[in-house]
Structure 1
Amino acid sequence: MDAALSSCIERIRAAAAAGTPLRIRGGGSKDFYGQRLEGELLATAGLAGIRSYEPSELVVTVGAGTPLAELEQALAAQGQCLPFEPPRFGGAPTVGGMVAAGLSGPARASAGSVRDYVLGLALVNGRGELLTFGGQVMKNVAGYDVSRLMAGALGTLGLIAEVSLKVLPQAPAEATLRFELSQGEALRRLNAWGGQPLPLNASCWLPDAGVGTLALRLRGAQAAVEAACRALGGERQDQADAFWTQCRDLQLPWFADRGDRDLWRLSVPQVAPALDLPEPPLVEWHGAQRWVAADRSDAGALRRAATAAGGHATLFRSAGPTDLPRFTPLQPPLDRIQRELKRQFDPAGIFNRGRLFPDF
């Protein structure tokens, strides 16, 4: 066990004994995300470094404090990548923060989420015990898959010390097509295309003063991409990488133009039609993710619209202080499971208190 990890464990044991809350932090790129920040800072910078990388096995194991940019650079040198395109939000995120937040970029609907690529991890629980879950292959779990449970837990269950990830080769070909379509027509076409053997990878529908614009990214074999371009039509876009990077990091002009309104993320089934919202959303993930800029008074209507469509709404970035729940409150059975998990992993309640839910 290295010195940095030993120091973290001793700090956690002392905090548990004293009941002192700890705030786990990697690069701080997602400090805005979640209910609130509370506790003494427990930085993961010392838990950095690529521990092992087997390009032929498509597996990499890294310390939680490893900068995401460093990992992606190492993968790119071998022609590989993290297919779920983790966002950076203009900051310097770490691998541990990437897993803890569980956020994915434009390719999520086609390539899968962060959770789908977590093979195993080492975790320090609230008792200061170092636990190891999963491994370095896909079929390594008998029973409850604790490794993937940590994706999206926002550090409330423990300190991720190390994580093993599945990686994939970069696609040999890529193209972006642009269509002028209304939101309803874009959703209908995306649903129809989803039922065809097309190399769909990402989509983004943007409202504007006119009809609206759908950007569609294709990735795959050269022949498949070229055939799809001919079949789908649209206007082919050269040098579209900057657009998708801005889309990934919420830096498109649409996001900047929200002014003093809150940014909401609605997660709904891909087949959901256009929703009754205060204004047209930005639509990603072939219809499954819809961003809405709204006044604080619209919070209830947004949550009702998402629930009616079979999904949920998250107050992703608040324009100012608020007591609104950032995440949709859980139904009683799920709430009971969440609280029991917290009690088992963090009995003293020291990790990221109030980050995921207001009262624990």
Structure 2
Amino acid sequence: MLNPVNLDASAALLEQVNQALQNSTPLRIQGGNSKAFLGREVAGEIIDTRPHRGIVTYDPTELVITARAGTPLSELCAALDAQGQMLPCEPPSFGDDATVGGMVAAGLSGPRRPWSGSVRDFVLGTRVITGHGKHLRFGGEVMKNVAGYDLSRLLAGSFGCLGLLTEVSLKVLPKPRQCSSIALEMNIDRALLKLAEWGQQPMPISAASHDGKVLRLRLEGGEGSVAAAHDRLGGEVLAPSYWDDLNQQRLAFFNEGLPLWRLSLPNNIGHLALPGEQLIDWGGAQRWLKSDAGAEAIQTIASEVGGHALCYSHGVSDSPFQPLANPLLRYHRQLKAQLDPQGIFNPGRMYAGI
């Protein structure tokens, strides 16, 4: 199955990168710009991936799809949906213009993340224009080719700082046969305890959030297992659109106001007395926080329990990503120096000087 809009602009992208290398010109990688609010400000010449688009190959029987970086994420998801398949990591788009390359570069995953895996887990292979002016292929299109940790997976969540992603091969999965969502009234402490308990049992939970008063669960799987879990747990039936509204930040909680932070935490962390209003996602592993507290205070709270915090409100902090310990910072710098020695790709997007 091929996408009717299929344009290979890799030669033009490679030429622009090589010109930038000759002139020592920094490049600001841009797709649909739907994630532009994340990270630090980047100064540089825009290099637009959107002309390089289209589904290259898709074999539903092999559960693998390959698409160019500028392909609209909505087109890729529509192609999968027509075959009863999906991206299991449920990446948010934050708008109609999101691209496949931006999805991988940002590495953001939706409510299903703790139960199915992250964007990185489903990247099989990539094509990348490196800071050496080469267009290279890494990984492959089958799971056995990525038994070792390779560059393709490093690119997921790198925010374009390591190279220009031009193509990606992704593992996909069939959609669940049955889906049901329920709402249970309980306080946050009991909700976190119950989620930890259910995590040790064969419960078909694929999403869990808590707003301070109500625990919301999504149950997915076979008809029998979903029905049995629903009967056991009880609760009010919840519209399935809730999870998409949560994922795309359309809930009232996300209305503009105080700065928004995302705290990513280890599993089974109890209730945290955070300085502001919070919404629990990922069964407790992700906490959304609206707060006017300082960046250092919020990031310190996250690091003390083994997690990290990212500011989702542009311009609030000069260090929106959790500051790195010196050994990790050194590795980041060494990796950047190897893949982008002149530092032309999205300089400073994640950390100053990288």
Question: Given the two structures, how large is their TM-score scaled by the length of structure 2?
Answer: 0.95
* 2:144 partner SS: coil
1:103 and 1:113 in contact (8 A); partners too: yes
Structure 2 spans left out of the alignment, 5+ residues: 1-6
Aligned mate of 1:182, from 182, 187, 209: 187
Alpha-carbon distance in structure 1 between the residues aligned to 2:28 and 2:100: 17
Alpha-carbon distance in structure 1 between the residues aligned to 2:183 and 2:214: 7
1:31 and 1:37 in contact (8 A); partners too: no
1:267 equivalent to 2:267? Answer no
Letter in 2 for 1:101: A
Aligned to 1:31: 36
Alpha-carbon distance in structure 2 between the residues aligned to 1:52 and 1:292: 40
Letter in 2 for 1:334: L
Deviation of the 1:17 alpha carbon: 1.4
Range with greater deviation from structure 2 (302-311 or 71-80)? 302-311
Aligned to 1:299: 295
1:175 to 1:331, Cα distance in 2 relative to 1, 3 A: same
Deviation of the 1:36 alpha carbon: 1.3
| Percent of matched pairs sharing the same residue | 48
Aligned to 1:346: 340
Aligned to 1:286: 283
Alpha-carbon distance in structure 1 between the residues aligned to 2:96 and 2:196: 34
Alpha-carbon distance in structure 2 between the residues aligned to 1:278 and 1:181: 22
Deviations 1:280-301 (A, max 9, x none): 4100001000010011x43232
The correspondence of residues 194-205 of structure 1 with structure 2, limited to 5 A, is 194-205=199-210
Deviations 1:114-141 (A, max 9, x none): 0000000000001210111110111213
Aligned to 1:154: 159
Alpha-carbon distance in structure 2 between the residues aligned to 1:112 and 1:357: 26
Alpha-carbon distance in structure 1 between the residues aligned to 2:279 and 2:17: 41
1:156 and 1:353 in contact (8 A); partners too: yes
1:10 equivalent to 2:15? Answer yes
Alpha-carbon distance in structure 2 between the residues aligned to 1:246 and 1:131: 38
Aligned to 2:250: 251
2:259 and 2:316 in contact (8 A); partners too: no
Structure 1 spans left out of the alignment, 5+ residues: none
Alpha-carbon distance in structure 1 between the residues aligned to 2:109 and 2:262: 13
Deviation of the 1:308 alpha carbon: 1.6
Alpha-carbon distance in structure 2 between the residues aligned to 1:142 and 1:253: 42
* 1:97 partner SS: helix
1:214 equivalent to 2:215? Answer yes
* 2:225 partner SS: helix
Alpha-carbon distance in structure 1 between the residues aligned to 2:241 and 2:282: 18
Deviations 1:51-87 (A, max 9, x none): 0000000000100100000000000100000011110
2:180 and 2:240 in contact (8 A); partners too: no
1:106 to 1:53, Cα distance in 2 relative to 1, 3 A: same
